[in-house]
Chain A
Amino acid sequence: MALLDIRQRTGYLFIAVIVAHIILISAQVNTRRGVPVLEAVTFGVFAEVQRAASLVISGVRASWSDYFALQQVRQENERLQQELARLRITLQQERALAQQSRMLQDLLTLKSGTPLATTAAAVIGSGASPDFRTITIDKGTAEGLRPDMSVVAPAGVVGRVITPSARAAKVQLLIDRNAAAAAVVERSRAQGVVEGTGGNLRLNYVSGTADVKVGDRLVTSGIEGIYPKGFVIGQIESIQRGAGEFSAIVVTPAVDFSSLEAVLVVLTPPSSDVEESTTPADSEGAADTTAQGRE
């Protein structure tokens, strides 16, 4: 019966007999290197088996270790993300501190650079109505603030004190529709009056023949007796030549009013400022402007 089974598996038996003969022959034949073929083939086949097994095992090990490593990486990733978020907040705080430091440094430079008596004030609020461009500062009459005292920033003129209280003051920004300041073109000394438009400035009362160009910088002339002479107002953005005597000149303010945080209030009373005009930018023209301001 078993023999019958074997006969039914003729193919397997044939292969087995052939392989057995090949093994038998290989055991007797040496390769060119003197190693028996059987040994060489066996070693070669077994080496391939070992290689395959090693590959499989190393693959499994790699996958296994990668799996655990990925889990660790995931935890580490979460931890690093938290760390990154914390560092971003810290960075923002540091940037804010640096910005504030720079701003205070600029303010200090301005304060020490001008011979005028000034006091630094922090901006603590802005105007309640968009029609009136004002800010509130944390210094008031207790610190010597009076109405019409000029307020400046390192970038230029901010405005003037309009309503001081004991410990705070409301400052009318130069871009307010009711604000104005005497101005002079720094390059050509052409004079005019800068008036607020709500968002920008407009230079009015400039002669049609005056030497005015786009890009010219405007500074205060001090004629009106409020703003000290020589502080930067802004830069001419566009000039519209009209048929009349004056041209419509749009001025971009030098100060970014939306990001004001600290300002300097010039404590010198406006009248005395006009009388004793001491300017940081142009002291030579002080006498003229003072005279004009008196007029």
Chain B
Amino acid sequence: MKAVGVFVAIALALALQTTLARFLVGGIAALDLVLVVVVYVALTTGPVSGMLAGSAAGIIQDALSSGLIGVGGLAKSIVGFCAGVVGQQFIVTAALPRFLMFLGATAVHSGISMGLYVLLGLRSFPSPWAAVVSQALGNAAVGMIAFTIIEAVPGVIERRRMRRRL
């Protein structure tokens, strides 16, 4: 059931991502919603789930984009795994740690994917820092909002049920 939810989340993120593709900053997307989902899954379920979710989501994202299939998968697998490990080892329930987690995850993901492309000689990124920072901030913001909404949903539903009973 959890896996289905993860797949649905990834699918939604991909759908949103494809619609937001036109918002580009410095050659890369200003937001990576798939990455946000992966980090979220990793923080909530653990490194293995995060890694598998990152792998699947990354490969699908790569397949939908024009890049090499596997680069995004590899980057998101590593990010998902590391985020899961961090989530298990440290308490990442407060806002700031989560914010930092999204920032770090985005930085690591960008570093890996861009590094691989540069290493393979397929693309070049003359000054990626602004784009990476903007994407990290965007992802962190979206991630924080997503966490807040998702965590608030059960309480809202419960409160509505209580009001109806009253």
Contacts and interface: CB of A to CB of B under 8 A. Distances in A.
Nearest to A26: B70
B48 interface: yes
Task: Select the residue from A10, A21, A28, A37 with max chain B CB neighbours within 10 A.
Answer: A21
Contact of A14 (B47, B59, B70, B116): B47
A113 B78 CA distance: 112
Given A17-B77, A18-B77, A28 B51 contact: no
A10 B116 CA distance: 24
B130 interface: no
Task: Select the residue from B51, B70, B81, B120 with max chain A CB neighbours within 10 A.
Answer: B70
Contact of B51 (A17, A25, A37): A17
Contact of A13 (B51, B70, B78, B122): B51
Nearest to A7: B48
Given A17-B52, A17-B77, A29 B68 contact: yes
Nearest to A13: B48
Interface string B42-75: 0000111001100100010000000011110110
Contacts of A21: 55, 70-71, 73-74, 77
Given A14-B81, A18-B77, A25 B48 contact: no
Contacts of A24: 59, 69-70, 73
A7 B46 contact: yes
Contacts of B59: 24
A6 interface: yes
B71 A25 contact: yes
Given A14-B81, A21-B70, A29 B120 contact: yes
Interface of A: 6-7, 10, 13-14, 17-18, 20-22, 24-25, 28-29, 37
